């Protein structure tokens, strides 16, 4: 079964063809990110206008990159939520019209769950015949989804059963990275910049304690973000002030709480698999800390390749296959 996936939840317009929920035949992504840079964040009106301009071309390119025609498509999967309403509407309307025109089923997919599914797509970037040097993740699993719009922890027992364990009560982790980078005058999007800048720090200083919210799997990042702001306002002109050290300390704080709650959830639920997904999964400190902690606790940590961490339609088509066929593997 070939599924055409369509993703338009934010500033990326993406279309992909995925075979049997696993093999990515094409995955085309176009982004209006550059246009949002001067504003320090995504402007919904600009994003949705670009979605409208790109959607047709990106779908056509995705089909031709897969070497297929619309007649080879068995179903269409599209992001239903969450996301920017204008951007979502473009993809949803386009997908609905296309499914009606080619008389093929339409399946609506949750964007956050699809980020977790990205870990189950085949990995042509890894050597080996099946593209599976790292064994495919096994269910049940705990999934940590961290991006600019969401921070959620799920218990996944099958592709049709995701139980939400906890989520952020305020800013998403990526949003906190972006806002802290803005405070430190580092630019946008802040995640990759902080990741890079933090590597140059000789130490993490001062310590920013993460919000623990004990007894829950919820997160809160607004406190640490405000702590960075106050520290910056008070000390930015000190001779010893170091942007690198503050960036590293902020990153340590976010990474430590994300890792701690994810590993705790795995241990409590007796899961040996931790899946990480979303744009912040690209963070080098998070990847390193999570896999170190996983190793210590006998938990295998999976993170998709970079191209499947950020928003893409392959993950939508992949999860769409399982929703449509009600298959778990
Ligand atoms: O998943 P994504 O592409 O879009 C959303 O659905 O939000 O995630 C984008 C977010 C941004 O906030 C960006 O700053 C963050 O992911 N990000 C990172 C890194 N690369 C991207 N955050 C921390 N470290 C990174 N290396
Ligand atoms: Zn996303």
What distance in angstroms lies between residue 192's CA and the mean position of ligand 1's atoms?
7
Residue to substitute in 177, 193, 290 for testing ligand 1 pocket (most ligand atoms within 8 angstroms of CB): 177
pLDDT band for position 326 (50/70/90)? confident
What residues contact 234, with CB distance under 8 A and at least 6 apart? none
| DSSP-based three-state secondary structure for 226 | helix
Task: For the chain, give the percent of residues with pLDDT over 70.
Answer: 96
Are 195 and 283 a contacting pair, CB within 8 Å? Answer: yes
Q: Which fold has domain 141-303?
A: Nucleotidyltransferase; domain 5 (3.30.420)
Question: Taking 80 as the threshold, does the pLDDT of residue 257 lie above it?
Answer: yes
Residues with CB under 5 A from ligand 2 (ion): 147, 311
Q: Which ligand is nearest to the CA of 197?
A: 1
Length of the chain: 329
Kindly list the domain boundaries of the chain, sorted by start residue.
Answer: 2-125+308-325, 141-303
Residue 125: what pLDDT? 66
Residue 133, pLDDT above cutoff 80: no
- What's the pLDDT at 192? 96
Convert the pLDDT of each residue in 15-45 to its tens digit. 999 999 999 999 999 999 899 989 888 899 9
pLDDT digits (tens, 9 = 90+) for 266-321: 999 999 999 999 999 999 999 999 999 999 999 999 999 988 999 999 999 999 99
Q: Which of 66-80, 132-146, 263-277 shows the lowest per-residue confidence on average (mean pLDDT)?
A: 132-146
The C-alpha atoms of residue 61 and residue 63 are separated, in whole angstroms, by 5
Q: What is the predicted pLDDT for the residue at 40?
A: 83
For residue 300, what are the CA distances in angstroms to 26, 173, 242, 259, 278?
28, 22, 36, 13, 18
Q: Which residue has the tokens 């992504």?
A: 29
Ligand 1 atom closest to the CA of 311, numbered from 1: 3
Which own/partner contact pairs does 93-100 have at CB distance under 8 Å and 24+ positions apart?
94/6, 94/8, 94/55, 94/56, 94/59, 95/6, 98/4, 98/59, 98/70, 99/75
Q: Are strands 161-167 and 151-158 parallel, antiparallel or unpaired?
A: antiparallel
- Rounded to two decimals, the pTM is 0.93
Residue 45 in tokens:
């009106």
* Average pLDDT estimate for 123-139: 66
DSSP letter for 41, please: S
Q: Which of 280, 284, 307 to mutate to test the pocket of ligand 1 (most atoms within 8 A of CB)?
A: 280
Q: Are 292 and 274 in contact (CB under 8 A)?
A: no
Q: Is the pLDDT of residue 329 over 50?
A: no
How high does pLDDT run on average in the chain?
Answer: 94
With a cut of 60, say whether residue 129 has pLDDT above it.
no
Give domain 2-125+308-325's CATH number out of 3.20.20.70, 3.40.50.11900, 3.30.360.10, 3.30.420.40. 3.30.420.40
């Amino acid at each position: 079964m070939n599924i055409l996936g369509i993703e338009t939840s934010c500033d990326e317009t993406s279309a992909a063809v995925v075979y049997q929920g696993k093999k990515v035949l094409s995955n085309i992504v176009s982004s209006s990110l550059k246009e949002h840079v001067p504003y320090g964040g995504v402007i919904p009106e600009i994003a949705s206008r670009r979605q409208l301009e790109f959607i047709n071309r990106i779908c056509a390119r995705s089909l031709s990159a897969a070497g297929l025609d619309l007649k080879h498509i068995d179903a269409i999967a599209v992001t239903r939520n969450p996301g920017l309403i204008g951007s979502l509407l473009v993809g949803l309307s386009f997908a609905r019209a296309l499914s009606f025109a080619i008389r093929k089923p339409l399946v609506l997919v949750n964007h956050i769950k699809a980020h977790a599914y990205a870990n189950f797509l085949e990995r042509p970037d890894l050597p080996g015949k099946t593209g599976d040097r790292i064994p495919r993740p096994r269910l049940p699993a705990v999934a940590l989804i961290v991006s600019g719009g969401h921070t959620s922890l799920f218990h996944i027992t099958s592709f049709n059963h995701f139980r939400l364990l906890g989520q952020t009560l305020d800013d998403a982790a990526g949003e906190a990275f972006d806002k802290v980078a803005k405070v430190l005058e580092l630019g946008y999007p802040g995640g990759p910049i902080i990741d890079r800048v933090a590597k140059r720090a000789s130490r993490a200083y001062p310590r920013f304690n993460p919000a623990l919210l004990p007894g829950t799997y919820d997160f809160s990042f607004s406190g640490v973000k405000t702590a960075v702001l106050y520290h910056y306002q008070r000390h930015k002109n000190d001779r010893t002030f170091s942007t690198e050290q503050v960036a590293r300390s902020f990153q340590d704080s976010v990474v430590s709480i994300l890792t701690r709650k994810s590993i705790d959830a795995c241990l409590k639920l007796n899961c040996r698999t931790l899946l990480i997904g979303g744009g912040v999964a690209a963070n080098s400190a998070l990847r390193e800390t999570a896999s170190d902690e996983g190793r210590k606790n006998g938990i295998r940590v999976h993170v998709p390749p970079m191209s499947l961490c950020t928003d893409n339609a392959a993950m939508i088509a992949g999860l769409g296959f399982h929703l449509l066929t009600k298959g778990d593997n």
